[in-house]
Structure 1
Amino acid sequence: MPLTVRDLTPEDVPACPWSGGRLHLEQLHVQLARAGDGVVDYLAVCGPADLPVAIGGVDYVARPGSGVLWQLAVMPALQSCGIGTILINAAEERILRRALSTAELSVEEDNPRARALYERLGYRAYGTEKDGWDVEGPDGTTVWYDTVCTLMRKELVGRLAP
C-alpha cells in the first residue's frame, strides 16, 4: 500500500477515532493550534485515500535542544506493518530540519511492543518518570490516568536533514 507523510489538519481529526477517545481528539485540535504557532509538528501517515492511518507529534519546547515525539498512534488493524517506523523516521527528519540532533520520547512501562520498536530504531532508555493525563471514564466523566513511562533518547548525528 503506498503511503505518504504530511501535516495533520483539523479536517483529519474526525477520521482518527482509532487514535484515542473523545478527550484525545479534542486535544488534537489544541496541538494543531500549537503547530500553527510553530512549536510542534503534527504528522499524518496516509494511505491511498489520503486518510490518516498513523499520527504523531514532535514538540520542540518540551525539552530544549531536543524534539520530543509524543502521541504516536497507528491504526490498530495496521500495526506491525512498518507504518510506525515510517512515522518515526518522518518525525526525526522534521527534528533535523530544525537543526536539532536529539530525538526523545517516553513509553509506558506496560507497552513492551512500542518499546521494542523504539529500541529497534535506535532509542535507548535513560530514566523513568511518572506521567498522567485525563481520560474518559466508563460513565463519560473525566478521570485522571496515572502511569510510569520509560524515557528514551536517540542521537540523530550522522543523518542529514532532507
Structure 2
Amino acid sequence: MTAVLREMTGADVPAVLSLENATFPEDAWSEDMLLGELAEQPRTRHYVVAEEPSGAIVGYAGLSAAGGQGDVQTIAVRADRQGRGLGAALLTALLEEAGRRDCAEVFLEVRADNDRARVLYERFGFERIGLRRRYYQPSGMDAIVMRRTAAVLRGNAR
C-alpha cells in the first residue's frame, strides 16, 4: 500500500464526495452530511483519508464514538485500489481509535449485497447480529448489522 492515512479535513471534502458518489451512486452522502460529521471531529467522530504520494484521495473512513460504543459510519476505497489492503488499513485505523476511546463494542451496517466488505468485517471479528430491511434508500437494499465486542477489540483478529 503506497497511500498514507491521515485525519480528514474540510479541504478533503470535494475529493471525498467525488469518491463517495463513485462508490455509492444510489445512496451517496451529501456535502452537508459529510460536513456535519466533520464538525463533530474530534468530539464524537474520527475520519481518516488514504492519500497517495500524488495527493489523490483513494479511500476514506469514519467512526462515531460516544458512551463506550462505536459505529463505523463509512468506509470506501476507489475501485482501482480495492483488493490491496487499503480497506483493511482504514478499518484498522477506526478500530484503533475505538480502542483509544474505550469503546466496549463497535457496530456497523453493510449492504446485504456487498460480500467483499462483509468478508473483510468478519475477518476483523465482526459478527452478524441483525438485519435492517430496506435500510439503503432509494435502492431498498437490506443492511446486515454487525458487531465487534471489546474482547475482540483487544485482540488481533485479522
Verify same fold: TM over 0.5: yes
TM-superposed CA distance for 1:156, in Å, is 3.9
> Please, what TM-score do these two structures have when normalized by structure 1?
0.80
**Greater Cα radius of gyration, structure 1 or 2:** 1
Confirm or deny: 8 A CA contact 2:48 2:62 kept in the other structure. yes
Confirm or deny: 8 A CA contact 2:107 2:147 kept in the other structure. yes
Matches within 5 A, 1:74-89: 74-89=77-92
Mean CA deviation greater in 13-22 or 122-131: 13-22
CA distance in 1, matches of 2:28, 2:145: 24
CA distance in 1, matches of 2:118, 2:155: 22
Task: State the identity %.
Answer: 29
Confirm or deny: 8 A CA contact 2:68 2:101 kept in the other structure. no
Query: Which of these residues, 124, 141, 147, is aligned with residue 147 of structure 1?
Result: 141
Q: CA RMSD in A?
A: 2.2
Give 2:38's aligned residue: 32
Mean CA deviation greater in 27-36 or 105-114: 27-36
Query: Which of these residues, 125, 134, 139, is aligned with residue 122 of structure 1?
Result: 125
Task: Give the SS at the match of 2:140.
Answer: strand
Could you list the runs of 5+ residues in structure 1 that have no partner in the other structure?
134-143
Residue 77 of structure 1 aligns with an amino acid whose one-letter code is D
Confirm or deny: 8 A CA contact 1:109 1:149 kept in the other structure. yes
Q: Deviations over 1:84-109 (max 9, x none)?
A: 00000000011011111322111011
What is the aligned residue count? 147
TM-superposed CA distance for 1:44, in Å, is 1.0
Task: Give the SS at the match of 2:125.
Answer: coil
Confirm or deny: 8 A CA contact 2:111 2:136 kept in the other structure. no
> Please, what TM-score do these two structures have when normalized by structure 2?
0.82
Could you list the runs of 5+ residues in structure 2 that have no partner in the other structure?
none
